[in-house]
Amino acid sequence: MFKSLVVVSLSFSAVPAAFSQSAEGFDTTGLAPASPAPAAPAAEKKAAPSANEAVLNLPSRYAGSGSDLAAYISTYSGKFSIKSRATDAFGRYQDPEFKAPEPKLASSSTRPTFKAAPPTPFIDVVSAIEINTVDLAKQRFLVGTREFRKGSVFPLQLPNGKNLKVQVLAVSSTAIVFRNLETGETANRKLEMLPAGMSKGGEPLTAPGMQSTNPNAPLLVQPGPPPLSSN
């Protein structure tokens, strides 16, 4: 048994030597050398940033550490818009040698002319009097707490400061008549002694559901279908 195992192991050990070949056994006459792969394009070299760009790209918190602080400040201050302005924040010229043009004085011949306001009509002056109460029996009326009667003479002060002397000519339930003693003009102050929002009616009042006692008043009828016959 041991002899057979030895023979089998020897036979297997001889197989690699029988089938192995060397490099000289290959025919390489028809083969051409492969062309080398194209080289990758070289990356474009970026231009080195200038000193100003390097300063501008630097965060402000690093301005005083490892860099020239004066260069950092001068670079940033050169971007300020005040550099291109003629005046400063207070409106003064930044150039100390700049001479501002002298202002031109308007000629004295072109002076503005003022027109006097037209006088207020007497009817408008009288209508502005605020009358509180009218007493027809005594021919008097009240303006605030002051009392005026028929024949009273008193001044009216206008908004421009001028005083206008007037006289009361008549007191009635519908109007009070005033006279301008300077010009002799008269005007009526119409009375509307009603609360705000109310007005005088022109027809007699009738309660709802009541018919007028006028003998010529029409009768209200409501025609409808004829009644049904009882036959």
In this predicted model, what pLDDT tens digit does every residue of 69-123 receive, in sequence order?
777 777 777 778 888 888 888 888 888 888 878 888 777 676 777 787 788 899 9
The pLDDT value given to residue 33: 56
Phi/psi of residue 5, each to 5°?
Answer: -65, -40
Terminal Cα distance for the chain, rounded: 150
The pLDDT value given to residue 67: 56
CB-based contact 184:165 (threshold 8 Å): no
CB-based contact 177:170 (threshold 8 Å): yes
8 pLDDT exceeds 50? Answer: no
Per-domain residue ranges for the chain?
Answer: 51-84, 122-190
Residue 171 gets which letter from DSSP?
Answer: E
The pLDDT value given to residue 80: 82
Of the pLDDT bands very low, low, confident and very high (cuts 50, 70, 90), residue 177 is: very high
Of the pLDDT bands very low, low, confident and very high (cuts 50, 70, 90), residue 37 is: low
Instruction: Tell me what the mean pLDDT of segment 53-67 comes to.
Output: 66
Instruction: Tell me what the mean pLDDT of segment 121-146 comes to.
Output: 90
CB-based contact 147:209 (threshold 8 Å): no
CB atoms < 10 A from the CB of 90, how many?
5
Phi/psi of residue 165, each to 5°?
Answer: -90, 125
pTM of the entire structure? 0.39
189 pLDDT exceeds 80? Answer: yes
The pLDDT value given to residue 203: 66
